[in-house]
Chain A
Amino acid sequence: MASRPELQAPPEIFYNDDEARKYTSSSRIIDIQAKLSERALELLALPDDGVPRLLLDIGCGSGLSGETLTDNGHQWIGLDISQSMLDIALEREAEGDLILGDMGQGLGLRPGVIDGAISISAVQWLCNADKSSHEPRVRLKAFFGSLYRCLARGARAVLQVYPENLAQRELILGFAMRAGFSGGVVVDFPHSTKKRKEYLVLTCGPPSLSSATPKGRGEDGESGSDEDSSDDEENQSVSVSDRHRPRKKQKLNKKVKGREWVLRKKEQMRRKGNAVPLDTKYTARKRKARF
């Protein structure tokens, strides 16, 4: 497996002209990006009234994700740290406005003006310290703090991430919660290594009914279908009632394997030629308590 891009070079250097070119020439990359951003927009759950919204695309890159937003009629502002990627976005005639900026330095937007934010495969870059002055915790705090401020109350941010490990996911989610967001992680196709995608679904403001984390796709192991089921392990939304719920009692009646199972096993052993005691009425009978 190829090494993660995050481990190779800082984003503004990794996404050079060659790498950026892939985002216009590779139909596979384009297809994946479009699917991810469509799903992110779906999770954003904007009211279905046909009014265009002002959205933010963090790590917009070549504007592929923005294209999905434009197709759905929304206005958007894109932020990226790589000049090469933004040049490609210009070439592709992205409809949104592009800004060359570093999300780890904070977003620099007025408070409460953005109706929703998406980010495709970008936020995990914040966990790296690419320069001596970089401190991931400070950068995550600056990012989530400024994101929380610029979003309108009740607005959502959907961030698709590729965390390297459990610790990184918890780090990212922890800083989101500390900034004031409520929400959690939605995992699509958790049983598949390749298709597995994680989305942080964050809502500005305290937890409420409307901020309940949506369900992931394909959690029953069915790939491609839209059947949903909840996955409590992955749903890390913070809610007080959960914290005080008493632990489930462990099941007392442990399942005992029955006589049939014992007979089958004995038969198997006999066929192998092992010395096995005869089957009698005592076979697989429970021992008395005094034993």
Chain B
Amino acid sequence: MRLLTHNMLSSNIKGVTNGFPLRIEVEKVIEKEVDFNIDFLRNMFAKIEWKALAEASRTMGYSELPDDAESSMLDSDEFLRKFHHALLELHLEEGALVCPETGRKFPVNKGIPNMLLHEDEV
């Protein structure tokens, strides 16, 4: 699972008002190279919750992202490369996602988070 997906996912448990961002528990991280596409990054920047992305990438062991970002920084190639790497190339292979409100763990196996809810959580 990439951080792109992590940035979109929120906890869906009944009664949880703010299920975002899910905390990451890391067991194994892998990196896969992906083609660099500026248009996609520019398009996604507006939709990304930057704080969540920066913190998530730090948890995954990549601390190059600045704490704050503005759209003016999108002109810098260096920034875009870092953004690209954090968003698309870091994969959480094994670990867990934790709901920030209830502490419920969603296990991640082989890169696939198990977001199935129990019957009493729907």
Contacts and interface: CB of A to CB of B under 8 A. Distances in A.
Interface string B69-90: 0000000000000000000100
A100 B117 contact: no
A125 to B, nearest CB: 15
Contacts of B1: 97-99
Interface in B68-115: 88, 110-115
Interface string B31-54: 000000101100110010100000
A112 B10 CA distance: 13
A86 interface: yes
The residue among A90, A99, A102 with the most chain B CB atoms within 10 A of its own CB is: A99
B44 A54 contact: yes
A52 to B, nearest CB: 4
B115 A75 contact: no
Contacts of B44: 54
Interface string A78-107: 000100001100100000011111100111
Interface of A: 50-54, 73, 75, 77, 81, 86-87, 90, 97-102, 105-110, 112-114, 131, 133, 142, 146, 150, 152
A152 B39 CA distance: 18
12 contacts: A51-B43, A52-B43, A54-B44, A77-B5, A86-B112, A97-B1, A98-B111, A100-B115, A101-B116, A133-B119, A146-B12, A152-B47
Interface of B: 1-2, 4-5, 7-12, 19-20, 37, 39-40, 43-44, 47, 49, 88, 110-117, 119, 122
B39 A52 contact: yes
Given A52-B37, A75-B40, A105-B117, A114 B4 contact: no
Given A105-B116, A110-B10, 6 more contacts: A51-B43, A77-B4, A97-B1, A100-B112, A101-B114, A106-B12
Contacts of A54: 4, 8, 44, 47
Contacts of A53: 43
Contacts of A81: 116
Contacts of A107: 12
A51 B39 contact: yes
A108 B5 contact: no
Contacts of B7: 110
B30 to A, nearest CB: 13
Contacts of B110: 87, 90
A110 B20 contact: yes
Given A107-B12, A108-B11, A110-B49, A90 B111 contact: yes
A97 B43 contact: no
A102 B4 contact: no
A112 to B, nearest CB: 7
Contacts of B47: 54, 112-113, 152
B111 A100 contact: no
A108 B39 contact: no
Contact of B19 (A52, A108, A114, A152): A108
Contacts of B20: 110
A75 B43 contact: no
A108 B40 contact: no
Contact of A108 (B4, B9, B112): B9
B39 A50 contact: yes
Contacts of B112: 86, 90, 98-100
B39 A105 contact: no
A110 B4 CA distance: 12
Nearest to B92: A97
Contacts of B10: 108-110
A150 B7 CA distance: 13
Contacts of A101: 114-116
A73 B35 CA distance: 10
Contacts of B40: 51-52, 75
